[in-house]
C-alpha cells in the first residue's frame, strides 16, 4: 500500500521504517527541513536499535521524506504521528496534532471523486480528544470529507526495543468508524501479523476510535499501577524487615498476576508512563470522575526517590560530602533521562548540600543539560572514589560487577534503588525495599 506518515519523531520514524520494511511504499512528512534532509540521507533523529539499518535499506527505495503534504491524495493511508506534549495540569496539548490533522484534510480535499482515503491517528490522545481530531480532518477536507475515513491505532512500543516491538506485538488495536477502514488496516498490517513463520497470529482488537485510545491509556496505567503497587508492598516489606523480591517473585507465579513489572525500587519514569497517567487523570477529572487509584499510582512513585535519600540520611550526613549517583537514564539501554528518578534524587542531594557526582554509561550528556553544575564521572569507579555514599538509580548491568570499586569510597554506604548491587562485606548496604 502507499502510506504517508505525518510526523517524523520517535513513533513516526519507527512506523515509517517498519512499514517500508513490511513492503509498503512510505512517504514521511515533517515540517522540519533538517529532519527531512537527515531522513533522506538515511539518518534518524532518534536512536533506536535496528532503525538505522532499516532506513539504510529502504531510503531511496520504498521510503522517502518530504516537508510537503501535496502527495497525500496519491497515497491510500495517512498516519498522524505528531507529539502531544503535556500541559501544566497534566492534560495533553493537541494543538500540533490538530494543525496537522487539518492540513492533512486540506491536502485530501484534492481527492478524486472515486478515491477513498484513510486517516489514522497514531499519536496518543485521550478519548474525549478523538472527536476534535476527527473534526479537524473533516473540516480541512471540506466537501471531500465523505471520502475520508478516520481511525485510531495506538502504539505500545518500548524505548530501546521499538523496532522489535513493532514487528512482534502482543496485540494490534484498530479503532475505526467503518468496516472499510478496518479492512484497510488489516491489509496494511497483514505482513506483520500474519502467521506464516509458524508463530501464533497476533490478536487483533477491532473497536471504535475512542475505545482504542482508552485501551492504550488503560494499558499504560495498569503497568504503572502494577509497579507502584509493587513499590507500596515493597515499602511495607522493608518496614517489616522482609525482602520484597522474595515476596513478589512468589506472587508473580500466580498467572493472574504474572511475574513482569513487579520489580520494586525507586520507581518508573520515561516519556510515556508519567505523561499518560497524568493525561488520563486530567481527562477523567474533566469528565467528572476522580480516579483515586491513578492518583495513588503517581503519589507512590513520587515518594520513592525521597525514601532512597532517607535511607542514606540514616547512615551519613551528606552536607559538604561527595555522593555518587549511579545511573541517570530512566531505564537501562537508553540515554533518555526524561522523568528519570535520577532527577529528584539529584535535587534531593543538592538540597542537602551534597557534592553530586553522576555516572551513566550513555546518559551523561542529556543529564548535563539539566544539571550543568553537577560533576559527571567517566566511570562508576571514578564516581565512587572519595564518595561517602552511592545511590543506585538505574539497573545497568555493569553496576552488578562493581565489587572492588566500592573500596575507593570514603565511607561505603550504598543505597540500591534497583536491586542490582550485591550485599557484600566492607560496605553498608541498604536495599530500598529489601
Question: Hey, which residues are catalytic here?
Answer: 272
Q: How far is the CB of 223 from ligand UDX (least distance, A)?
A: 6
Question: Which is closer to ligand UDX, CB of 188 or CB of 227?
Answer: 227
Q: Which of 338, 368 has the CB closer to ligand UDX? A: 338
Report, in Å, the least distance between residue 30 CB and ligand UDX: 21
Q: Closest CB to ligand UDX among 12 and 269? A: 269
The distance of closest approach from Cβ of residue 227 to ligand UDX in the complex, given in angstroms and rounded to an integer, is 4
Q: Which is nearer to ligand UDX, 389 or 417 (CB)?
A: 417
Residue 9 grid coordinates: 519523531
Phi–psi pair at 152, nearest 5 degrees? -120, 150
CA dist 29 and 68 (Å) reads 7
Which residues have a Cβ under 8 Å from the Cβ of 341 and sit 6 or more positions away? 266, 267, 268, 269, 304, 305, 330, 393, 417
Element (H, E) at 28: strand 25-29
β-bridge mates for residue 324, sequence order: 357, 390
Using CA atoms, how far apart are residues 370 and 343, in angstroms rounded to an integer? 9
Q: How far is the CB of 328 from ligand UDX (least distance, A)?
A: 12
Counts for the chain of helices (H) and strands (E), in that order: 14, 14
Contact (CB, 8 A) for 119 and 81: no
- For residue 266, the tally of other CB atoms under 10 A from its CB is 29
Q: What are phi and psi of 53, to 5 degrees?
A: -65, -40
The CA distance from 341 to 363, in Å, is: 13
**Whole-number minimum distance, CB 55 to ligand UDX, in Å?**
21
Pairing of strands 148-152, 172-176: antiparallel
Q: In the bound complex, which residue of the shown chain has the CB atom lying closest to ligand UDX?
A: 272
Diameter of the chain measured on Cα atoms: 79
Q: How far apart are the C-alpha atoms of 3 and 381, rounded to whole Å?
A: 50
* Nearer residue to ligand UDX within complex by CB, 117 or 341: 341
In the bound complex, what is the minimum distance in angstroms from residue 425's beta carbon to ligand UDX?
28
User: Which residue lies nearer to ligand UDX by CB, 137 or 213?
Assistant: 213
Supply the minimum distance, in Å, between the C-beta of residue 161 and ligand UDX. 8
Cβ neighbours for 218, distance < 8 A, ≥ 6 positions apart: none
Q: How far is the CB of 50 from ligand UDX (least distance, A)?
A: 15
Instruction: Tell me the three cell numbers of residue 12.
Output: 513516526
Question: Whose Cβ is closer to ligand UDX: residue 150's or residue 273's?
Answer: 273
187's grid cell: 491489509
Between CA 240 and CA 247, with CA 241 as vertex, the angle to 5 degrees is 85
SS3 327: coil
Nearest residue to 323 (alpha-carbon basis) of 367, 385, 401: 385
Rounded CA separation 98/100 (Å): 5
Enumerate binding residues for ligand UDX (CB under 6 A): 156-159, 220, 223, 227, 261-263, 265, 267-270, 272-273, 330-331
Phi-psi bin for 419: left (phi > 0), alpha (psi -120 to 50), beta?
left
Nearer Cβ to ligand UDX (189/396): 396
Q: How many CB atoms lie within 10 A of CB 102?
A: 18
The 3-state DSSP class for residue 241 equals: coil
Amino acid at each position: 500500500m502507499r502510506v504517508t506518515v505525518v510526523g517524523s519523531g520517535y513513533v513516526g520514524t519507527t512506523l515509517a521504517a517498519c512499514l517500508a520494511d513490511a513492503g509498503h511504499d512510505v512517504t514521511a512528512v515533517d515540517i522540519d527541513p533538517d529532519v527531512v534532509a537527515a531522513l533522506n540521507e538515511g539518518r534518524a533523529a532518534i536512536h533506536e536499535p535496528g532503525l538505522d539499518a532499516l532506513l539504510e535499506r529502504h531510503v531511496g527505495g520504498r521510503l522517502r521524506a518530504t516537508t510537503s503534504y501535496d502527495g497525500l491524495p496519491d497515497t491510500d493511508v495517512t498516519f498522524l504521528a505528531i507529539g502531544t506534549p503535556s500541559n501544566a495540569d497534566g492534560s495533553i496539548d493537541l494543538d500540533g496534532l490538530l494543525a496537522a490533522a487539518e492540513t492533512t484534510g486540506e491536502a485530501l480535499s484534492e481527492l478524486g471523486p472515486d478515491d477513498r482515503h484513510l486517516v489514522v491517528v497514531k499519536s496518543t490522545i485521550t478519548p474525549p480528544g478523538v472527536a476534535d481530531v476527527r473534526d479537524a480532518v473533516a473540516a480541512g477536507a471540506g466537501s471531500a470529507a465523505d471520502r475520508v475515513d478516520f481511525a485510531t491505532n495506538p502504539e505500545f512500543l518500548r524505548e530501546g526495543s521499538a523496532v522489535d516491538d513493532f514487528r512482534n506485538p502482543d496485540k494490534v488495536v484498530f479503532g475505526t468508524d467503518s468496516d472499510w477502514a478496518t479492512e484497510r488496516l488489516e491489509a496494511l498490517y497483514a505482513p506483520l501479523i500474519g502467521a506464516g513463520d509458524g508463530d501464533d497470529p497476533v490478536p487483533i482488537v477491532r473497536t471504535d476510535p475512542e475505545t482504542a485510545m482508552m485501551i492504550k491509556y488503560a494499558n499504560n496505567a495498569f503497568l504503572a499501577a502494577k509497579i507502584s503497587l509493587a513499590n507500596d508492598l515493597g515499602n511495607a516489606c522493608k518496614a517489616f524487615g522482609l525482602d520484597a523480591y522474595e515476596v513478589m517473585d512468589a506472587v508473580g507465579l500466580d498467572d493472574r498476576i504474572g511475574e513482569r513489572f513487579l520489580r520494586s525500587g525507586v520507581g518508573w519514569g520515561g516519556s510515556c508512563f508519567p505523561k499518560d497517567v497524568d493525561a488520563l487523570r486530567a481527562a477523567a477529572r474533566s469528565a467528572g470522575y476522580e480516579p483515586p487509584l491513578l492518583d495513588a499510582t503517581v503519589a507512590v512513585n513520587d515518594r520513592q526517590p525521597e525514601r532512597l535519600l532517607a535511607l542514606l540520611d540514616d547512615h551519613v550526613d551528606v552536607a559538604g560530602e561527595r555522593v555518587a549517583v549511579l545511573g541517570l537514564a530512566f531505564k537501562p539501554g537508553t540515554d533518555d533521562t526524561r522523568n528519570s528518578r535520577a532527577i529528584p534524587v539529584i535535587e534531593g542531594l543538592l538540597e542537602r548540600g551534597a557534592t553530586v557526582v553522576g555516572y551513566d554509561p550513555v546518559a551523561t550528556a542529556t543529564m548535563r543539560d539539566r544539571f550543568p553544575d553537577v560533576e559527571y564521572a567517566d566511570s562508576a569507579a571514578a564516581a565512587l572514589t572519595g564518595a561517602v555514599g552511592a545511590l543506585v538509580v538505574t539497573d545497568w548491568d555493569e553496576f552488578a560487577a562493581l565489587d572492588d570499586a566500592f573500596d575507593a569510597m570514603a565511607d561505603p554506604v550504598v543505597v540500591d534503588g534497583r536491586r542490582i548491587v550485591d550485599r557484600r562485606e566492607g560496605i553498608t548496604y541498604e536495599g530500598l525495599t529489601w
